Structure 1
């Protein structure tokens, strides 16, 4: 399988990272120093070494980055191999996982993902129901507090502000009643399933022999 990249185009540290195909590799460098290129070259090298493309998972932070990575790999090795890989964002990976296992958390597999506007509308309704019609209580402020708690691995039900905590419980209950999740839940629920269910972990171990995060 021919490749359009050369080890000569990489510095010593980059060459070492690209050539190391077994075991964990951590690439630490400043912005604009070629981290993404190194990661992409490493994946291309995996394909050169006949690692099946369907066993390679590459995760990025944005859809644009995922698309660009797939395109670069296609240019380096082959478009067919790049297409057969799984290249996606964290959130889209979690959606895939949850589509197959969210029933373990009491949801139906045809769950919906709540958009920001849907979240705001839901919180406005909850504020009216809970008597928080004071204009000083903004739906965005409550949602922000809930999101911050989730991102820190904390239970929003334990927010310091009792009213916000009460709303957080009502919000999560409403999401469940609608068989819906928000974007923070995608990450949290996927992590919970992987941590608590060996069968799901084993499925992904068998599916992907190489995992790369950019």
Structure 2
């Protein structure tokens, strides 16, 4: 083994090394608690695979975010060399699926230049699907008729807009779990089936897929087209999945097919699953145990990140969750640290005042070594809360940086891209709509007429 490989692997703790050196022929489940060095373990696992003769181009590692993918590639590059790191396929589920779908777009009834619908475009497609359902005539049965009748404004655009949130959530959950129009018809849910069918038809007409389609269409390609499956199996000799607890039923189906050779490693922790609203399903751990019965399980239970007070507080809280795989004994060598403080505020203004006062108090006491405002981070759940904090910080003349919407998702940037797209042949209505909205900031009724 190269000296740099050995030096890195020697720096891992006993359980991390056990995971890294596990036999590739045995499916491996790494249950990684918070702050337990899972990225270090995954890097070690990949280094061992490379040392055992697997070509870097035959390793597929899927992470939850592009940032995590970049970090893993950088770490491997620092040890195995940049060339080896470049050859590795490290990407998110959606990035991997996008590449696969573009390569075989014709099999999906799309062109290679298909559009990917984001949340806003999804919402408009859902509204249009509801409008199509509403406009269908006497062929509807009694239940559908109740839905499309007009008892005080149900035909209004505002009604459709208000209801679209519910139906967008339904479409997302249906696609994440792999439920089709046929499933809802079989269950007798004709309305759900009709909305989903219209929604899919709209995307097909627009030469578009949404983010959940990328996964389900990848599964379709691997299931319905043996040549695509063989191509992928010949290429990916080892599959590694990060943040397994956040995978949906369809994502699990995808990785199960890709890893039919059993050369699979999953890394995750059911206690950290927070994306159920987006289709994440922690029952994937049970499915993995059933589908790969000869699996090996390694638990990383040492927390390197947090103080003892934080570890004990988190443990006492999460142990009340009855849906856990099994009890976990998280340990840490860190000092006790400050106790966790919980403050209940009656409104957002009071919350901002409390947080800012606490920052100023901590700085003036010097007890934590925080000598500048750059030593503090304020985390919030909703973008609207961020705006309130920004206003409060400006009022108190406190400098701050905002880590918000990604550059390419900003409205102005998306409008510029839309303008460029209108110059290309075959540009769809989505881009023209965005350009009109950007160039014509008029009243709603006037915009509608335009």
- Return the TM-score normalized by structure 2: 0.44
The equivalent of 1:172 in structure 2 is: 200
Residue aligned with 1:171, SS: helix
Mind listing any 5+ residue stretches in structure 2 that lack a counterpart? 135-153, 243-450
The equivalent of 1:65 in structure 2 is: 68
The equivalent of 2:105 in structure 1 is: 102
Question: Per-residue CA shift, 1:163-195, capped at 9, x if unaligned?
Answer: 443222111011111221111111111112112
Higher Cα Rg, which structure: 2
Deviates more, 1:40-49 or 1:169-178: 40-49
The equivalent of 1:15 in structure 2 is: 17
1:1-214 alignment runs, 5 A limit: 1-3=2-4, 5-23=7-25, 24-131=27-134, 133-134=155-156, 135=159, 137-156=162-181, 158=184, 162-214=190-242
Question: Per-residue CA shift, 1:131-176, capped at 9, x if unaligned?
Answer: 3535275222111101111222212562876444322211101111
Question: Per-residue CA shift, 1:12-53, capped at 9, x if unaligned?
Answer: 332122123521222123222222211111112223344321
* Structure with greater contact order relative to length (CA < 8 Å, sep ≥ 6): 1
Q: Following the alignment from structure 1 to structure 2, what is the Cα–Cα distance between the partners of residues 171 and 6?
A: 50
Question: Per-residue CA shift, 1:88-134, capped at 9, x if unaligned?
Answer: 00011111111122322333333221111111122233334443535
Q: Following the alignment from structure 1 to structure 2, what is the Cα–Cα distance between the partners of residues 3 and 26?
A: 26
Deviates more, 1:48-57 or 1:131-140: 131-140
Q: Give, in angstroms, the shift of residue 70 of structure 1.
A: 0.6
Higher helix proportion (structure 1 or 2): 1
Q: Following the alignment from structure 1 to structure 2, what is the Cα–Cα distance between the partners of residues 6 and 123?
A: 51
Deviates more, 1:97-106 or 1:198-207: 97-106
Deviates more, 1:62-71 or 1:126-135: 126-135
Q: Following the alignment from structure 2 to structure 1, what is the Cα–Cα distance between the partners of residues 51 and 4?
A: 7
Residue aligned with 1:26, SS: strand
Q: Following the alignment from structure 1 to structure 2, what is the Cα–Cα distance between the partners of residues 129 and 205?
A: 42
Q: Following the alignment from structure 2 to structure 1, what is the Cα–Cα distance between the partners of residues 39 and 219?
A: 25
CA contact (8 A) 1:114 1:180 kept: yes
Q: Say if 1:197 and 1:84 are closer, same or farther in 2 by CA, change over 3 A.
A: same
Deviates more, 1:3-12 or 1:141-150: 3-12
CA contact (8 A) 2:102 2:113 kept: yes
Q: Give, in angstroms, the shift of residue 2 of structure 1.
A: 4.5
Question: Per-residue CA shift, 1:68-93, capped at 9, x if unaligned?
Answer: 11111112221221111111000111
Q: Give, in angstroms, the shift of residue 66 of structure 1.
A: 0.7
CA contact (8 A) 1:149 1:156 kept: no
Deviates more, 1:151-160 or 1:49-58: 151-160
- Return the TM-score normalized by structure 1: 0.88
CA contact (8 A) 1:2 1:48 kept: no
Q: Following the alignment from structure 1 to structure 2, what is the Cα–Cα distance between the partners of residues 42 and 180?
A: 37
Mind listing any 5+ residue stretches in structure 1 that lack a counterpart? none
CA contact (8 A) 2:132 2:198 kept: no
Q: Following the alignment from structure 1 to structure 2, what is the Cα–Cα distance between the partners of residues 6 and 92?
A: 29
